[in-house]
Amino acid sequence: MNLEKIGFNIFFQKQLEDLGIDNTTIARVIQEHKERYIISTFEKEYEAEITGNLRYSAKSREDFPAVGDWVQFLPFEENNAIIQKLLPRKTLLARKSVNSSTERQIIAANIDTAFVVQAVDRDFNLSRLERYVALIYAGSIEPVVILNKVDLISKDELQAKLTQVSKRFKEIKIISISNETLEGIDDLKNLLELNKTYCLVGSSGVGKSSIINTLLNENKIKINTISETSHKGKHTTTNRELIILENGSILIDTPGMREVGLTDVSEAIVKTFSIIEELSKNCKFNNCTHTDEPGCAILEALESGNIDNKEFENFKKLMRESQHFQASIAEKRKRDKEFGKMCKDIMKVKKKNKY
């Protein structure tokens, strides 16, 4: 068995044992195209669909497999398979669905480390970084920041940006790279560990697929085809896909995201803005709202420049967004409950009147 080469580890083995599933029937989802999947056992790939049972028992999109998931499957014919069961996830990277105020959309499952990629020439934005970091923390995943395209700015400009990022995220690794000059690529390679799963997230055009290509140039082992291109002069990634490097690291490329909406992730937001949480312990009042209270440590830190105004504003904005999602979910549950009760009442009346 070579499952560990595609990221299988003791955590998933334990899940299998608990469920009484044999690991010869397990594969990892490496590509997803609208409910059709490519799954891999490392030795072999299959085109797979989910069973009707799995589809009908799914309560939301989250119950469907996503790239990175482990599934139990039944092979048939040459290269086909039916996905029978989705195994419990270790981690989950998800954002608010663009089309629904109460749904989560999975970006990738079972990721160890997520690289947030920004291009230093046009895409650099601390508030957006904070947003991604909150999503990543919410999924119990380690974030790493990649500043890409450093060939397009001067050394001084880069230094200024690196200082800004490291001041804001004291506990997060930051690397700066270029796919043109290959500067920093060794730093990136040094971070990559055997059998660990990484994913690249960020806006469209920041160079996520280029980074994978750069890493693959020397490491030609791939288990599936590289990004489809739109043939409009832009190599836009349209599907999430999982790729194995020769050093044994597993990488997932994702399409650029325009909207990075947060779900109910307030704990992760607090972790992202740890300095705000830390300082607020020094506020005179326990229930300080940090607006105009005397002895407010946050207001003092804003005054002295210890906390950046933009950082505090974004903290409040993300918190509001998280609370809004939570409220929408609560509202939906209430509506569903009322609807369920109405259906029950109708059935009662029907029974009573025997029609």
Ligand X SMILES: Nc1nc2c(ncn2[C@@H]2O[C@H](COP(=O)(O)OP(=O)(O)OP(=O)(O)O)[C@@H](O)[C@H]2O)c(=O)[nH]1
Query: What gap in Å lies between CA 127 and CA 84, rounded to an integer?
Result: 41
Stretch that binds ligand X, among 16-24, 49-57, 231-239, 343-351 (CB under 6 A): 231-239
Distance CA 305, CA 160 (A): 17
**How far is the CA of 321 from the CAs of 55, 261, 266, 327, in angstroms?**
30, 8, 9, 10
Choose from Mg ion, Zn ion, ligand X, none: what does 290 bind? Cβ within 5-8 Å by kind: Zn ion
Closest distance of CB 127 from Zn ion, Å: 21
Interaction partner, residue 87 (Zn ion, ligand X, Mg ion, none; CB < 5-8 Å by kind)? none
CA 44, 242, 113, 92 dihedral sign is negative
One-letter amino acid for residue 168 of the chain: R
Within positions 127 to 186, which residues make up the interface with ligand X, using CB under 6 A? 148-149, 151-152, 178-180
CA dist 75 and 64 (Å) reads 19
The two most distant CA atoms of the chain are separated, in Å, by 82
- Residue from 209, 249, 263, 314 that binds ligand X (CB under 6 A)? 209
Q: Smaller CB distance to ligand X: residue 256 or 261?
A: 256
Query: Which member of 107, 111, 252, 298 binds Zn ion (CB under 5 A)?
Result: 298
- Strand residue runs (E) in the chain: 26-33, 36-40, 45-50, 70-76, 80-86, 92-96, 104-109, 113-119, 142-148, 173-176, 197-201, 241-244, 250-253
Give the DSSP H or E segment for 45.
strand 45-50
Return d(Cα 353, Cα 345) in angstroms, integer: 12
237 sits near ligand X (criterion: CB under 6 A): yes
Contact partner, 249, from Mg ion, ligand X, Zn ion, none, Cβ < 5-8 Å per class = none
Report what 283 binds from Zn ion, ligand X, Mg ion, none; CB cut-off 5-8 Å by kind: Zn ion
Residue among 179 and 197 whose Cβ is closer to ligand X: 179
Residue number with CB closer to Zn ion (71 or 298) = 298
49 contact, one of Mg ion, Zn ion, ligand X, none, CB 5-8 Å limit per kind? none
Binding mask 200-219 for Mg ion (x = CB under 5 A): --------xx----------
Residues linked to residue 259 through DSSP beta bridges, in sequence order: none
Residues 208, 215, 288, 307: which binds ligand X (CB under 6 A)? 208
Q: Where are the beta strands (DSSP E) in 191-275?
A: 197-201, 241-244, 250-253
Q: Which residue is nearest to ligand X (CB)?
A: 256
Interaction site with ligand X (CB under 6 A): 148-149, 151-152, 178-180, 204-210, 235-237, 255-256
